[in-house]
A and B are shown apart, each in its own frame.
Chain A
Amino acid sequence: MVHALSEIRRTLKPNGILIDMRPVLDRWQIEVVSTRDSRETGRMQDFPVGLADDEAANQSVAYAAQNGWFTREQEDFFSFTYSWDSPKEMEEWIEEEWEGFIGLDEETKQATRSAWASADADARVQVKVKMLITRWRTTAQNLKAASQS
């Protein structure tokens, strides 16, 4: 990851901008939502591999900042919602796409199925992924300093 940041810095013009946008594990919220109602049914489980990936990414950007490659200008969090027609579809998708990184415990699965079964006909199941977005800037001065070190 550090090599990637170094390469990106090389290809950016002085005063160039790097936008780093990525999900961060934080036991993402699961909800059953209809036009009329919304109910939280549990949280995702964060697995060690996923948490280690987040930590590695954080360490890489910290290294880049400490070495003057980039200056952090702005940072924000937002929700990226995944929404499915039914709990079954959500479970299958999570197993296929997020296997090993995050998971669902039985209690949350049951709570979600039960909430969906008793909800309005238009009810969907959704996971709110926590997203981090950061704007970094590289400067001519930074580039010069880095190349001299």
Chain B
Amino acid sequence: MARVILTGEAGRRFAGGTTEIQVEADTIRRLLIELDRRFPGLGKQIEEGMALAIDGEIYQDAYFVPLRPESEIYLIPRIAGG
């Protein structure tokens, strides 16, 4: 199962301080659905204002990126630029 690390505001606000969970999901879309099921509001929060760092790569707005069972996923703030 993929390991999801809930750091920062999202973890505190939606997951009651839980910092790490295991999630069975083979795409980002399924991951978001599962996160939202466990922590209502978190999936929407990720979709609208966050990015995912998956095994060293940052993904923003990408539902169908495949996840591996051993994937490590960090929730991070969305990045833009100037």
Bound pair: A and B?
A: no
B binding-site residues for A, Cβ under 8 Å: none
A binding-site residues for B, Cβ under 8 Å: none
